[in-house]
Amino acid sequence: MQETIQNILKKNLLSITGSRVKILELFLAQNGALAHGDIEKRTGEKFDRVTVYRTLQVFLNKGIIHSIPTADNSVLYALCKDDCAEGHHHDNHVHFVCDNCGNTVCMDEVTVPLIKLPNGYEMRQVEMVVSGRCKVCAAGKGV
């Protein structure tokens, strides 16, 4: 995995630094999305808050991660699995936010359906966020 991380950074022409490696590790270990706050907690006192902000910003621009709009307007990020590039993202999958455990996941196998807009509107990107109870919470009868 260490290998993978280095490759991701190199492929994106980014220098390999402690914070970038650590934050990428977190994303790869996690199968869901992470908020800025999550990352701060899990990196402990290791990095400055500002560095985390800047690292996420760089990852976003490079198309390494994408942000997820949520109903409660907290900012979440998840790894891009498709071949997103600088500027152009195309993660056209649905996101699921669990009301119970708070976990948010990319549903890579569920693609956002096409819709028809009224005349004159030009569609560029479509985001679809579903909330409810996740597999785990639904099975566990709501913990």
Contact set with DNA (CB under 7 A): 14-20, 36-37, 46-51, 53-55, 57-58, 73, 75
Report residue 107 CA to chain centroid gap.
Answer: 11
Binding of residue 137 to Zn ion (CB under 5 A): yes
In terms of Cβ atoms closer than 10 Å to its own Cβ (0-12, 13-18, 19+), residue 95 is buried
Tokens of 97: 């936010």
DSSP 118: P
> Smaller CB distance to Zn ion: residue 129 or 137?
137
Q: Shortest distance, CB of residue 138 to its own copies, whole angstroms?
A: 5
What are φ and ψ of residue 41, in 5° steps? Answer: -60, -45
Binding of residue 101 to Zn ion (CB under 5 A): yes
**Residues within window 90-119 making contact with its own copies, judged by CB under 8 A:** 94, 96, 99, 107, 109-110, 112-113, 115-119
> Smaller CB distance to Zn ion: residue 24 or 105?
105
Binding of residue 105 to Zn ion (CB under 5 A): no
> Smaller CB distance to DNA: residue 51 or 92?
51
Measured at the CA of 69, the angle between CA 62 and CA 60, to 5 degrees, comes to: 10
